Amino acid sequence: MKLIFLGAPGAGKGTHATKVKADYALPHISTGDIFRANLKEGTPLGLKAKGYMDKGELVPDELVIDLVKDRLTWPDCQNGYILDGFPRTIKQAEALDSFQDIDAVINLVLDDETIIRRVSGRRMCSCGATYNVELLGGKTTCEKCGKELYQREDDKGDTVRTRLEVYNRDTAPLIAYYRNKNLLTDIDCNGKSIDEVYQAICNELDKI
Ligand code: AP5
């Protein structure tokens, strides 16, 4: 299955892609994670992306498209993959169409107020685990590995609102783009637990 997870920042793309990866044995390709890993290693790509990411702006299309095109040629993508955070512009979607056929687009729908609360409350661990302060009960360390949790730079202050504006301006048009191709399924995430959202996603994936 070749899948795209679409949704605003904090809608739950990473949370649910991680679960699909485990249950459906598909690689989870998050362009945000790739940029953050490059930044951590201090690569030229990471350093170029940092300025855009810290401001909540999109990294230029030309930097992202070639990166994904190359990643999808890796052997682990032969039987499919989950794209999380790509495409994010019509130009990226058109580029993807030129080298891949997508089976389904899962669009996670969540209201703006909840998005801002979730992103501002997100805490990360360097092992890859993600938490939310509202569910941590005051704990500041990772349940899986015990390391201290931290907040992503772009989850702080006004950057969250900028990311939402950028999403509405540049990425939301992809909803109509994929709906017109009969590939898009909306998953309403409002008022739903992670397990409830995941069950709704699995119900859709099991039809493919
Ligand atoms: P990226 O890392 O892709 O960030 P994003 O799209 O803003 O998405 P997030 O990671 O913030 O959210 P998510 O939907 O994965 O939510 P999560 O599952 O963590 O991109 C970062 C930056 O990189 C971009 O701003 C841009 O600069 C650059 N970039 C990346 N790709 C690019 C591209 N293609 N083109 C150009 N630039 C690009 O969930 C959020 C929180 O909510 C978590 O704490 C989670 O535990 C909690 N949660 C989830 N679901 C539920 C639920 N049902 N109930 C309660 N809590 C929940």
| Within-domain flag for 142 | no
| Within-domain flag for 17 | yes
> With a 6 A CB cut-off, is 27 part of the ligand 1 pocket?
no
| Within-domain flag for 52 | yes
| Within-domain flag for 138 | no
Q: Report how far residue 61's alpha carbon sits from residue 5's, in angstroms, rounded to the nearest whole number.
A: 18
> Mind listing the pLDDT tens digit of every residue in the chain (208 residues)?
999 999 999 999 999 999 999 999 999 999 999 999 999 999 999 999 999 999 999 999 999 999 999 999 999 999 999 999 999 999 999 999 999 999 999 999 999 999 999 999 999 999 988 888 988 999 999 999 999 999 998 999 899 999 999 999 999 999 999 999 999 999 999 999 999 999 999 999 999 8
| Within-domain flag for 19 | yes
Average pLDDT of the chain?
95
| Within-domain flag for 172 | yes
Q: Report how far residue 141's alpha carbon sits from residue 3's, in angstroms, rounded to the nearest whole number.
A: 33
> With a 6 A CB cut-off, is 171 part of the ligand 1 pocket?
no
Q: Report how far residue 105's alpha carbon sits from residue 72's, in angstroms, rounded to the nearest whole number.
A: 17
The pLDDT, as a whole number, for residue 128 is 84
| Within-domain flag for 54 | yes
What global pTM score does this model have?
Answer: 0.94
The pLDDT, as a whole number, for residue 49 is 95
| Within-domain flag for 130 | no
Q: Any bridge partners for residue 108, and if so which?
A: 7, 187
**Count of domains forming the chain:** 1
The pLDDT, as a whole number, for residue 30 is 97
Containing structural domain, residue 78: 2-111+156-202
The pLDDT, as a whole number, for residue 163 is 95
Q: Which atom of ligand 1 is nearest to the CA of 87?
A: 34
The CATH number of whichever domain residue 92 belongs to comes to 3.40.50.300
> With a 6 A CB cut-off, is 177 part of the ligand 1 pocket?
no
